[in-house]
Amino acid sequence: MAINRKLMTDPDFEEAVKRKYPVRVFKDDYIVNNGGTVIRFDDSIVVIQSSVSDLVYYTRQECEFFEVRKK
């Protein structure tokens, strides 16, 4: 069973970068990324890396981010 925790504040994102937990990204109620890790963020953008050459930029206002932890 996995534990999902919504990432909303800067400290939430800082912890996600530090601990490198996988994240799920939702946009318009659809999952658009699953299993990548947050490598960088600011007030408007979150950068998710899924593999060595796969970087995706998401806007914080349009997407919801959830940290996924194994129980």
Domain boundaries, the chain: 2-70
CATH number for the 2-70 domain, one of 1.10.8, 2.30.30, 1.10.287, 3.30.40? Answer: 2.30.30
- Tens digit of pLDDT for each residue in 9-51? 999 999 999 999 999 999 999 999 999 999 999 999 999 999 8
**3-class secondary-structure state, position 17:** helix
Q: pTM for the whole thing?
A: 0.89
- Is the pLDDT assigned to residue 1 strictly greater than 80? no
pLDDT confidence bin for 57, thresholds 50/70/90: very high
